[in-house]
């Protein structure tokens, strides 16, 4: 049995425990990750809910890897830290996150590039804002496995909802991940992504296509358009039941284009209208 467990650990540098919190937003539930071994002890990423059976499973997975010594949080959404306080109370180990502004219960802040020894490998924190300003991905450097939190999703789509979400930052974060030699991506929701390169390219292309659709739709409203007027045009391919969610992503696209000087806002918060910026005499910013 012990021998078997050792073998398993050599094949699989992490244990995945699925949290019992399935929903429209979380898919099958949050993937909680336990990694490490006897030499360094274990750490857990994203203990999602306070539920006895689930937390017992997480603790058992940690014990098989030398015992949990740290709790890491990818970002401050409840389905990623919901079990952290209970786990900390049980084990007496610290909670680490990018910032206390993002995760109020964090004991320690993890800056971009921070490295933690896990078994014979090293886990590197990578600040990847976009879905949320405090988002961290974690790269297992030796094996090229990326624990991606909510930056990518194995199922469904990643919500970019301003003000905590930022479309420009999101695209920059995805491009940053493209620079890494990745073997696989373990998202917080849904199955493992085995083709990181094409998946990242697909994510970037998808957002840029939407952006182009936003620009095309704005072209039909020379006097400006509200978000409510733009949603059915830009998201004609998406079920109307999801249009409230789509409005958030659309706003994120508009804010990015505004930052780039390509669209302009008119009117007050009651009747906010968006219009393409006239580009005569200017060179349109490239997007290399
Ligand atoms: Zn999230």
The answer, yes or no, to whether residue 157 has pLDDT greater than 90, is: no
pLDDT on residue 107 = 98
pLDDT on residue 54 = 98
Write out the H or E segment, with its range, that includes residue 249. helix 243-259
**In whole angstroms, what is the distance from residue 37 CA to residue 7 CA?**
12
- What is the pLDDT confidence band of residue 103, given thresholds at 50, 70 and 90? very high
The answer, yes or no, to whether residue 109 has pLDDT greater than 70, is: yes
In terms of Cβ atoms closer than 10 Å to its own Cβ (0-12, 13-18, 19+), residue 280 is: exposed
197-215 pLDDT tens trace: 999 999 999 999 999 999 9
Pairing state between β 14-18 and 31-37: antiparallel
Q: How far is CA 240 from the centre of its chain?
A: 25
- How much is the average pLDDT of 147-154? 94
- How much is the average pLDDT of 151-170? 92
Report DSSP state, residue 233. Answer: H
- Tokens describing residue 182: 């990745």
Ligand 1 centroid to residue 26 C-alpha, Å: 9
Which residue segments constitute the domains of the chain, with CATH numbers given?
2-194 (3.60.15.10), 204-276 (1.10.10.10)
Instruction: Please provide the average confidence, as pLDDT, over all residues in the chain.
Output: 92
The answer, yes or no, to whether residue 3 has pLDDT greater than 60, is: no
pTM: 0.90
Following CA atoms 48, 52, 58, 64 in sequence, which dihedral angle do they give, to the nearest 10 degrees? Answer: 170
Ligand 1 centroid to residue 198 C-alpha, Å: 23
- How much is the average pLDDT of 259-269? 91
Comparing 27-36, 114-123, 239-248, 264-273, the range with the smallest average pLDDT is 264-273
Ligand 1 centroid to residue 77 C-alpha, Å: 5
pLDDT on residue 10 = 52
- Tokens describing residue 196: 């990181």
Residue listed under structure tokens 């949050």: 30
The answer, yes or no, to whether residue 170 has pLDDT greater than 50, is: yes
Ligand 1 centroid to residue 145 C-alpha, Å: 20
Ligand 1 centroid to residue 135 C-alpha, Å: 8
The answer, yes or no, to whether residue 131 has pLDDT greater than 60, is: yes
- Tokens describing residue 202: 């697909």
Ligand 1 centroid to residue 103 C-alpha, Å: 12
Which segments of 227-278 are extended strands (E)?
263-266, 273-276
- What is the pLDDT confidence band of residue 1, given thresholds at 50, 70 and 90? very low
**In whole angstroms, what is the distance from residue 101 CA to residue 113 CA?**
19
């Amino acid at each position: 049995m012990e021998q078997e467990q050792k073998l398993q650990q050599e094949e699989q540098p992490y244990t995945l425990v699925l949290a019992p919190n399935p929903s429209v937003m979380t898919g099958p539930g949050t993937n909680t990750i336990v990694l490490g071994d006897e030499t360094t002890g274990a750490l857990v990423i994203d203990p999602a809910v306070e539920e006895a059976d689930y937390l017992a499973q997480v603790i058992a997975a940690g014990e098989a890897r030398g015992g949990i010594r740290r709790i890491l949080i990818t970002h401050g959404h409840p389905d990623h830290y919901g079990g952290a306080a209970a786990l900390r109370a049980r084990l007496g180990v610290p909670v680490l996150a990018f910032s206390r502004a993002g995760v109020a219960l964090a004991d320690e802040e993890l800056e971009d590039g921070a490295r933690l020894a896990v078994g014979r490998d090293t886990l590197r924190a990578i600040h990847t804002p976009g879905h949320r300003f405090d988002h961290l991905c974690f790269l297992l450097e030796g094996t090229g496995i990326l624990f991606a939190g909510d930056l990518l999703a194995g199922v469904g789509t990643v919500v970019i909802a301003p003000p905590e979400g930022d479309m420009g930052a999101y695209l920059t974060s995805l491009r940053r991940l493209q620079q890494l030699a990745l073997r696989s991506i373990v998202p917080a929701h849904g199955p493992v992504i085995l083709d990181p390169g094409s998946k990242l390219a697909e994510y970037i292309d998808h957002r840029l296509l939407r952006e182009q659709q936003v620009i095309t739709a704005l072209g039909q409203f020379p006097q400006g358009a509200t978000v409510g007027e733009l949603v059915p045009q830009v998201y004609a391919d998406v079920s109307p039941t999801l249009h409230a969610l789509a409005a958030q992503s659309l706003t994120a696209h508009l804010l990015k284009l505004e930052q780039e000087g390509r669209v302009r806002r008119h009117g007050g918060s009651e009747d906010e209208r968006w219009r393409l910026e006239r580009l005569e005499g200017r060179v349109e910013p490239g997007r290399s």
